[in-house]
Structure 1
Amino acid sequence: MKRVFPEPIRKLPEAAVPLAGVTAYLSQSDTHQILFMEFEKDVELPEHSHAAQIGIVLEGKIELVIDGKEKGYAKGERYYIPEGVKHSAKIFAGYADITFFDEPNRYSLK
């Protein structure tokens, strides 16, 4: 897979995302987290919920079901999942995004 993120991002600590084939660089704040994620493999996420999440798609494709409504997102698009709303996803190999989580402890360091 080609590298999407430049060296300053790759120098960030890696997040412990429990999914095979995912590399996630973590920018940590006292109030939120921003992850720069690259997916080498297809991943399916079962329905779940958490604090608000905003994603900006840089490469590839993701299919989300948010509150029962299915929609695909591709390069240049963004999505928003409000706090507590149930959602699931299919993420395709080659996908990369920047994801904001409105919680400081969503992921720990690798």
Structure 2
Amino acid sequence: MPKLYYASPRDLPVIEPHPGVKGRVVHAQHATLIVYDYTPRTIVETHKHTVEQFGVVVKGSLAMVVAGEQRILMVGDTFRIPEGTAHGARVFEEATQVVQVFAPPRTDLPRPTADGPVAKT
């Protein structure tokens, strides 16, 4: 059975990929999980990743555009973005939190030390 490591948010590496966006990063062997916090009225410009991503809105709401198609996402709504697909977002009037998973793992993000908050087998 794999060992599990637990981490408090304060122990996780923080990234700021866009103005108004902070993410707390957790890496595993086959995926990266990021808890993103968006300030109100944040605009995430259109961009792409070399890995697939999917996620769920856990607080607030936002308009997301994936491959030119816009949808309004609210708490509990999920999305999937295939690798290499253009996407962006616009946050509405309240702080918003989205949990996203990237697979395979993102190699461009900070990684904790071997005894830090990383799942290992």
Name the TM tier (shorter chain): 0.7 to 0.9
- Counting aligned pairs with the same residue, the percent is 20
Alpha-carbon offset, residue 106 of structure 1:
4.3
Letter in 2 for 1:108: P
CA contact (8 A) 2:15 2:24 kept: no
Q: 1:20 to 1:67 in 2, by over 3 A?
A: closer
Instruction: Give the TM-score, by structure 2 length.
Output: 0.71
Residue of structure 1 in register with 2:27 after alignment: 28
Structure with max Cα Rg: 2
Alpha-carbon offset, residue 70 of structure 1:
0.7
Residue of structure 1 in register with 2:107 after alignment: 105
Instruction: Give the TM-score, by structure 1 length.
Output: 0.77
CA contact (8 A) 1:44 1:91 kept: yes
Alpha-carbon offset, residue 86 of structure 1:
1.3
Work out the number of aligned pairs and report it.
103
Alpha-carbon offset, residue 58 of structure 1:
0.3
Q: How does 1:17-56 map to 2 (within 5 A)?
A: 17-50=16-49, 51-56=51-56
Question: Residues 23-68 of structure 1, C-alpha deviation per residue, up to 9 Å, x if partnerless?
Answer: 3221112332101122234321222211111111101012111111
Q: 1:21 to 1:48 in 2, by over 3 A?
A: closer
Matched, 1:94 2:95: yes
Alpha-carbon offset, residue 11 of structure 1:
3.5
Unaligned stretches of 5+ residues in structure 2 = 1-6, 112-121
Q: How does 1:74-93 map to 2 (within 5 A)?
A: 74-92=74-92, 93=94
Q: Distance in 1 between matches of 2:84 and 2:64?
A: 15
**Structure 1 moving runs of 4+ over 6 Å:** none
Moved more, 28-37 or 60-69: 28-37
Alpha-carbon offset, residue 72 of structure 1:
0.9
Residue of structure 2 in register with 1:62 after alignment: 62
Unaligned stretches of 5+ residues in structure 1 = 1-7
CA contact (8 A) 2:66 2:88 kept: yes
Q: 1:9 to 1:74 in 2, by over 3 A?
A: farther
